[in-house]
Amino acid sequence: MRNIAVLWMRFGPYHLARLRGAAERAARGGAVVHGIEVAGMDHYGWRRADGAAGFARHCLFPDRHYDELSAGAIARAVRLKLDELQPDGVGINGWSVPEARAALAWCRKNGRRAVAFSESLPGKPQPPFWKEWVKSWIVRRFDAALVGGAPHRAYVVKLGLPAERVFRGYDVVDNDYFRAGAQAARTARNVPEGSLPKARNSSPGTETVASHAASDRGERGMPPSPAHPHPVGDGPPYFYANTRLIARKNIDGLLRAYASYRKEVADPWDLVVTGNGGEEHRLKALCSELALDEHVRWPGFVQYEELPRYYGSAGAFVHPARSEPWGLVVNEACASGLPVLVSRTVGAGFELVEHGRNGFLFDPFDVGAICAALVRMSEMTPGERAGMGGRSLEIVSRWGPSRFGEALWAAMTA
């Protein structure tokens, strides 16, 4: 194994962390990693993340948005790049998008190793038999797979890959980055737990996170979020949700649960929701309808370099999604030393949440269950929450970029 190619739609900060982990492991085996991204822009509002520490970086369409590219153009570019690089194996994100189909076909034609990256779980309700048959036929054309956790592994094995060729460790983040950044935010505030100050108490002229994200939102024609100042200062803890504002993320359920929560506790926390998406206007209207405007803040899309400040100032993280293959935000929150409240349908919960030890799991379709989790968390002592946050750090320490690197190497060489 001399050259490994890894293919994604677009590199965000998480992909670069994985690639660094892969490059470090490959270098010990005498191999070089080539990271291939299809486009320079996609539906995420990240600013372009530069850097290629230890690996070679290739972008097929650096000035194009992924959604503007035809499947044929993507497939041709992938084939040409793989012909040029001649990798011994290719790590392929999924199996349904055009770049994945093209890379798999190239591997089969040229006798190279194809490794699927998968977060797939069985659909609910059960998909039609023929769809699962087609998926199984495709999956069995891969040589190995790199998946999220135990349920993801079980599903890929069910689809037809031998268990000994399916490896866990795909879903990781740069743990050190979030741990250090969150701790710096806490140190700057000189309190163990805190919150973003309310916008009405902020001094004029403060730089905003929303201003950093405005150009990213405007790029795809989305309305800008209102600016919310983000100075560092003292304040009570808050619940933090970092997510796309789309239906399956269940922020409407969280808002309804939060409205009930405020009626049940004497000193309720505020709620901060960062992110953007097509449900933004509807969710803010619901927030007003529930009379929560004074207690819920919507800073908009937050760039990677600002995220640790939000995690570091929060009292607990909440991820209420109705459907989520994994949810890297749970990794981020755990790496930031937070207790976590996570839906039972979130894939990361199977590996990163120990119910009652570093947080609580709940049914996302039961508003009362979400409310109970919020109440239980905010009524714990700061010391109890700090203990949960410490356990989060211990758990996620096993899910860093080096784990991705080791798992990818094993999948390539097994």
| Residue 194: per-residue pLDDT | 39
Taking the C-alpha atoms of residue 82 and residue 30, their distance in angstroms, rounded to an integer, is 20
| Residue 213: per-residue pLDDT | 33
Cβ atoms of residues 229 and 201 within 8 Å: no
Taking the C-alpha atoms of residue 349 and residue 342, their distance in angstroms, rounded to an integer, is 7
Q: Domain locations in the chain?
A: 3-172+400-413, 175-396
Question: Which amino acid does the sequence have at 201?
Answer: N
| Residue 217: per-residue pLDDT | 34
The CATH number for 175-396, chosen from 3.40.50.1110, 3.40.50.300, 1.25.40.10, 3.40.50.2000, is: 3.40.50.2000
Taking the C-alpha atoms of residue 406 and residue 68, their distance in angstroms, rounded to an integer, is 35
Q: Provide the token pair at 401.
A: 């970029």
Taking the C-alpha atoms of residue 308 and residue 335, their distance in angstroms, rounded to an integer, is 10
| Residue 210: per-residue pLDDT | 32
| Residue 348: per-residue pLDDT | 97
Q: Residue 191 burial (CB < 10 Å; 0-12/13-18/19+)?
A: middle
CATH class of 3-172+400-413: alpha beta
Give the other-Cβ count within 10 Å of 163's Cβ.
9
Question: Which amino acid does the sequence have at 17?
Answer: A
Taking the C-alpha atoms of residue 240 and residue 258, their distance in angstroms, rounded to an integer, is 12
Taking the C-alpha atoms of residue 203 and residue 224, their distance in angstroms, rounded to an integer, is 22
Reading the chain (414 residues) residue by residue, the pLDDT tens digits are 799 999 999 999 999 999 999 999 999 999 999 999 999 998 888 888 777 789 999 999 999 999 999 999 999 999 999 999 999 999 999 999 999 999 999 999 999 999 999 999 887 777 888 889 999 999 999 999 999 999 999 999 999 999 999 999 999 999 999 999 999 999 887 654 433 333 333 332 333 333 333 333 333 333 333 333 343 345 679 999 999 999 999 999 999 999 999 999 999 999 999 999 999 999 999 999 999 999 999 999 999 999 999 999 999 999 999 999 999 999 999 999 999 999 999 999 999 999 999 999 999 999 999 999 999 999 999 999 999 999 999 999 999 999 999 999 999 998
Q: What order of strands is seen across the sheet that includes strand 32-41?
A: 56-65, 32-41, 3-8, 89-93, 113-118, 144-147, 166-168
Listed residue (172, 139, 170) closest to 156, CA to CA: 139
Taking the C-alpha atoms of residue 342 and residue 331, their distance in angstroms, rounded to an integer, is 11
Q: Is the model's pTM score more than 0.75? A: yes
| Residue 235: per-residue pLDDT | 67
